[in-house]
Amino acid sequence: MPTTAESTRDRSAVRSLLRLWPFVRPVRARLLTAAFVAIVASCVGLVIPLVLKWMVDGPVADRDPAGVWLGALYLLLLGLAEALLFGLRRWLVARPLSHVEAEMRAGLYRHLQRLPVAFHDRWASGQLLSRGTTDLMLLRMFLAFPLTFLLVNGVTIVVGVVIMLVQDWQLGLVVLGPALPVMVTCAVFEKKYSEVARLAQDQVGDLTTVVEESVLGIRIIKGFGRHRSQARAFRELARTLRGTELRKARLLAAIWAVIVTLPELAIGAALVVGAVQVADGQLSAGTLVAFLSTALALRWPVESIGFLLAMSQEAATATERYFEVMDAEVEEPGISGDPASVSRGGVRSPASRGASPTLGFARAGGPPSPTRAAPGGTSQAVQALGEARMPAAQPDGGLRFEGVRFRYPDAPPGSPPLLDRVDLHVRPGESMALVGATGSGKTTLTALVPRLHEVTSGRITLDGDDITAIPREELRALVAVAFEEPTLFSASVGDNVLMGAGDGAGTDELERALAVAQADFVHALPQGTATQVGEQGLSLSGGQRQRIALARAVVGRPRFLVLDDPLSALDVHTEAAVEAALRQVLADTTALIVAHRPSTVLLADRVALLSGGRIAAVGTHQELLRTNAEYAHLMSGHDEHAEHEEGDER
């Protein structure tokens, strides 16, 4: 898990922060105005000592009460102006900066959606979560305070120092004495702090991962009574994080001590020297008052530099962490926009999906249930039309794997490829069962078809078109998938199913899909298809979730269907009913179905056996049972009932 990025380690904080420019650009006018307003406010503050000087040397020395009142009025007005200007600055930056944060967060989310599955395999979700939340908050705070105030305070310090030097250059030099040691301390601090800040932010990510996992896995944790060990693991991480935060605090305390103490000492020294000068008559009392007030007014700008630098450093780290994700390469969209690809034999654009007349339940007339409708009859014309469009006659039609090799990018080096020269041809309209021992790579093979992973070598074609030549969006509209783990989202049942269809799909499609998947239980839910399923659909049973996932796979009437053991959680009766309905769909769909049970295998026209990374045998269930010992062994281990059913089918 790439929690620390060595490559970015040596990058300076400024370089990292400069990468924020594209996001800050749209609001630059506001930010600059705000900084300007803050500088003016700060300089207004610096005028106050000069008024004091005028008061002490003028009205106070002359014992003129009216002059003192006037001076007091000036001071009040200056104070008010300073306060109003700082308020204006705050108002100027608040809205644009929340906009920047929102934009960056939206950008991150968009990017995460487009990153390949391999990226998500590698990255812990907590790390991504913390980058999208804590880190972006740090960035907004940086843009609101340190960015402006490092500038404002810098200008204030320079102006203040000039004022002091003009008042009395000797006293000015005394006050400037600590400048060098303070700067050296800041430089050392920045380097050390950047390391600790990075560590702390990564540890927040790890902690988030633990929290997320234990919330998602709460059933397992409780079921195995692991809450104590889980809490211990959490405490350990929290303690580590606390240690890191304490290191940060110690560093801050150290720089704070230096930054506060040295200038105070210098001001004390200036006070002594100044008092001696006033006593000797070399300096007016008013000048000393003005000088010391200016020095005191500069105390805050100087002292704040410590934590402003700390915040900037954290922001630089947050930027690095943000761009580590943003720099990860997304799946290229393919060759979308190529008109030839749309008109290519049978390949439909996503917009036209659902309009194909070639599918089992896309029949003319009414909303017939696919469980009842028989092919042929009224649909012959439609069928003929479909066949005209379907490249059934092409020898290379259907789904074809040619010399496909695949190894996971993060597999141990030197290990053999998981899939080694897989050759398989699923003919148009044919359904092929894929059987293999557990861990043989069936799920992996199915994930290659919608390009969730990229083949290492070899190629996969759909109706003769290399999948890498089909725009991804189009490819994923062509191929529908249902995986072993039926993933549902926090949305209504209907929305979960319709995710599998184009934008135009409505109730009819939904009902048909639910019927195919035998998901009638949906209608018995409190609000029918509008019932919200909880996070990950955990309020439904495993079999119910599987059927919704299956409905999602078939609702878009895909040309190609890839099902990864879609019926494993169903009781035999439901499985039989789903199979009957599915067979109607599969009549026209080219399908690859991973199967563990003979009953599922019987859905398919032929079976392929995946063994040792290759397709070891292809044939009908009966043929393979007779001729292939491995296949017979794999199939014989399954439940008796399925075997009986299989007998009935014969």
Residue 468 makes contact with Mg ion by CB under 5 A: no
Q: How far is the CB of 563 from Mg ion (least distance, A)?
A: 11
Tell me the site size for ligand ATP, rule CB under 6 A: 14
Q: How far is the CB of 447 from ligand ATP (least distance, A)?
A: 8
What three-state secondary structure class fits 589? coil
294 in Cβ contact with 163 (< 8 Å): yes
* The entry of ligand ATP, Mg ion, none that residue 125 binds, CB within 5 to 8 Å by partner kind: none
611 in Cβ contact with 574 (< 8 Å): no
Sheet holding 457-462, edge to edge: 419-426, 399-406, 457-462, 465-466
Q: How far is the CB of 484 from ligand ATP (least distance, A)?
A: 6
Please give the residue whose beta carbon sits closest to ligand ATP in the complex: 443
Q: Segment 468-487, which members bind ligand ATP (CB under 6 A)?
A: 484
Residue 113 makes contact with ligand ATP by CB under 6 A: no
Nearer of residues 375 and 409 to ligand ATP, judged by Cβ: 409
Q: β-pairing, 431-436 with 606-611?
A: parallel
Q: How far is the CB of 183 from ligand ATP (least distance, A)?
A: 50
Residue 272 makes contact with ligand ATP by CB under 6 A: no
Among the listed ranges 80-88, 232-240, 435-443, 473-481, the one in contact with Mg ion (CB under 5 A) is 435-443
Q: How far is the CB of 485 from ligand ATP (least distance, A)?
A: 10
* The entry of ligand ATP, Mg ion, none that residue 473 binds, CB within 5 to 8 Å by partner kind: none
Nearer of residues 440 and 589 to ligand ATP, judged by Cβ: 440
List 3's β-bridge partners, or say none: none
Residue with tokens 């109003």: 84
Q: How far is the CB of 228 from ligand ATP (least distance, A)?
A: 30
Q: How far is the CB of 253 from ligand ATP (least distance, A)?
A: 45
Instruction: Give the span between the Cα atoms of 542 and 125, in whole angstroms.
Output: 24
Please give the residue whose beta carbon sits closest to Mg ion in the complex: 443
Instruction: Give the span between the Cα atoms of 511 and 519, in whole angstroms.
Output: 9
Q: How far is the CB of 624 from ligand ATP (least distance, A)?
A: 17
Instruction: Give the span between the Cα atoms of 499 and 567, in whole angstroms.
Output: 20
Residue with tokens 């009966």: 622
Instruction: Give the span between the Cα atoms of 365 and 367, in whole angstroms.
Output: 7
Instruction: Indicate left, alpha or beta for 557 from its phi (over 0: left) and psi (-120 to 50: alpha).
Output: left
Among the listed ranges 32-40, 149-157, 407-415, 439-447, the one in contact with Mg ion (CB under 5 A) is 439-447
| Inter-residue long-range contacts of 128-134, CB under 8 Å, 24+ positions, other chains counted | 128/325, 129/205, 129/208, 129/209, 129/212, 130/201, 130/204, 130/205, 130/208, 131/205, 131/318, 131/321, 131/322, 131/324, 131/325, 132/105, 132/108, 134/201, 134/204, 134/318
Instruction: Give the span between the Cα atoms of 422 and 403, in whole angstroms.
Output: 5
DSSP state at residue 518: T
Q: How far is the CB of 564 from Mg ion (least distance, A)?
A: 6
Question: Quick one: how far is CA 197 from the chain centroid?
Answer: 21
The single-letter code of the amino acid at 252 is L
Among the listed ranges 237-245, 407-415, 535-543, 614-622, the one in contact with ligand ATP (CB under 6 A) is 407-415
Nearer of residues 443 and 531 to Mg ion, judged by Cβ: 443
Among the listed ranges 85-93, 249-257, 436-444, 540-548, the one in contact with Mg ion (CB under 5 A) is 436-444
* Site map 408..427 versus ligand ATP, x via CB under 6 A: x-xx------x---------
Triad 116, 117, 123: Cα angle to 5°:
100
| Residue of the chain from 15, 72, 121, 191 that contacts ligand ATP (CB under 6 A) | 121
Nearer of residues 97 and 561 to Mg ion, judged by Cβ: 561
Q: How far is the CB of 644 from ligand ATP (least distance, A)?
A: 23
* Site map 436..465 versus ligand ATP, x via CB under 6 A: x-xxxxxxx---------------------
Instruction: Give the span between the Cα atoms of 307 and 287, in whole angstroms.
Output: 32
* The entry of ligand ATP, Mg ion, none that residue 439 binds, CB within 5 to 8 Å by partner kind: ligand ATP
Q: How far is the CB of 120 from Mg ion (least distance, A)?
A: 17
Q: How far is the CB of 335 from ligand ATP (least distance, A)?
A: 27
List 425's β-bridge partners, or say none: 400
List 594's β-bridge partners, or say none: 434, 564
* The entry of ligand ATP, Mg ion, none that residue 456 binds, CB within 5 to 8 Å by partner kind: none
Nearer of residues 51 and 591 to Mg ion, judged by Cβ: 591
Tokens in use for 597? Answer: 């049970």
Residue 443 makes contact with Mg ion by CB under 5 A: yes
What three-state secondary structure class fits 103? helix
Instruction: Give the span between the Cα atoms of 532 and 523, in whole angstroms.
Output: 13
By CB under 5 A, name the binding residues for Mg ion.
443
By CB under 6 A, name the binding residues for ligand ATP.
121, 408, 410-411, 418, 436, 438-444, 484
